A and B are shown apart, each in its own frame.
Chain A
Amino acid sequence: MDFKKTMMKIMMRMTPTCEVISEKVSQSMDRKLSPKEWIQVKIHLMQCHLCNRYREQLLAMQKVLRQYGAMVEENSGLADLRMDEQAKERIKDRLHKVSGPRNQ
């Protein structure tokens, strides 16, 4: 335990804190990190299993969200979510006011 703590402390001095690293991990999904940042993140992740886990979770989330986005756009999987009939009628009425009477 003491050894681990010492290692953590050394790491703390060598790289920015988890708070800073987690931000860079997130940003690495949106921009290219500078070489210096990249190395800092790499070294930190070698030592810190929590930041590692955080990174893996963000990547998993991204995967899930993209898939989810595609599913919604392809119109599959959200059958439980429907517009109220009342709202539909309201929109139809509105459309008819603009386009002319209903032809039903």
Chain B
Amino acid sequence: MSKTNNPQETPLTDPARWVDVYGDFLFQFAMTRISDKKVAEDLVQETFLSALKARESFAGKSSKRTWFITILKNKIIDYYRRAEHQVMQKSPMTDDGDEDYTDFQQEGEWQGFWRKESAPRDWGEHPETALDQKEFMKILRECIGTLPKRLAAAFTLRELDEMDTGEICKQLDISSSNLWVILHRARNQLRRCLEMNWFGPHPEKA
């Protein structure tokens, strides 16, 4: 077997090398969606095992990296489906995190208006450039990690993978109105988390 120095050319015949070359990358991809180290490791392992089985059919048309990512994406959706099933079996509402929390006044003259303490604060100019800062990436990852599984599933498919809403409904087997509610809740929770931990007026940053 010819050894090569270019990691992109790792021969398909040596799966152990896959782990060295693509392991961290696939692990990171999984971790940005499912912030559970153990689960992420398992998904990477499953990805390699499936790749091994399908090795013959890999035509080499796409890069190996793309091939692995495609498999991993499917594994992640399978994982979400299994998790969703388990959650629904236990009790449909136990995994909802702080979804009961509301940003709005629940009674009185201003019912349905923003509560003072939860109204959106000033995020400063150009919040979208926050990614330039390393520390922000960590906060973002952690905030996504606090989302309940059933929110994280639809949300990461929609916002990180830019998947079409119809496709998400099909993949996760949910109705579109259900999906809209889930995405709205996920955005609210993420917005609050980012505001609390990064954008909001913070004594250390001020």
Using a CB–CB cutoff of 8 Å, the interface residues on chain A facing chain B are 12, 16-20, 22-23, 26-27, 29-31, 50-51, 53-54, 56-58, 60-69, 71-73, 75, 77-78, 80-84, 87-88, 90-92, 94-96, 98-99, 102-104
CB–CB A64/B19 < 8 A: no
When A and B form their complex, which 8 residue pairs have the shortest distance between CB atoms, in order from nearest? Answer: A17-B112, A69-B160, A65-B159, A83-B27, A26-B184, A19-B104, A53-B120, A95-B15
User: In the complex, which residues of chain B have a beta carbon less than 8 angstroms from the beta carbon of A64?
Assistant: 127-128, 130-131, 140
Query: Please, how many angstroms separate the alpha-carbon atoms of A69 and B195 in the complex?
Result: 20
Query: Please, how many angstroms separate the alpha-carbon atoms of A31 and B103 in the complex?
Result: 23
Chain A nearest CB from B22 CB (Å) reads 9
User: In the complex, which residues of chain B have a beta carbon less than 8 angstroms from the beta carbon of A91?
Assistant: 19, 23, 41, 44-45, 48
CB–CB B159/A66 < 8 A: yes
CB–CB A63/B128 < 8 A: yes
11 cross-chain CB contacts under 8 A: A26-B183, A27-B183, A61-B191, A63-B128, A65-B159, A66-B159, A72-B32, A72-B160, A81-B28, A81-B141, A95-B19
User: In the complex, which residues of chain B have a beta carbon less than 8 angstroms from the beta carbon of A66?
Assistant: 159-160, 162
Let me know if B24 is at the binding interface, CB within 8 A: yes
User: In the complex, which residues of chain A have a beta carbon less than 8 angstroms from the beta carbon of B191?
Assistant: 54, 57-58, 61
Known: A17-B112, A31-B165; 19 extra A-B contacts, CB below 8 A, are: A16-B112, A19-B103, A22-B188, A26-B183, A27-B180, A50-B120, A69-B159, A69-B162, A72-B28, A78-B28, A81-B27, A83-B40, A88-B19, A91-B23, A92-B15, A94-B45, A94-B49, A95-B19, A103-B14
Instruction: Tell me the nearest residue of chain A to B190, going by C-beta.
Output: A61
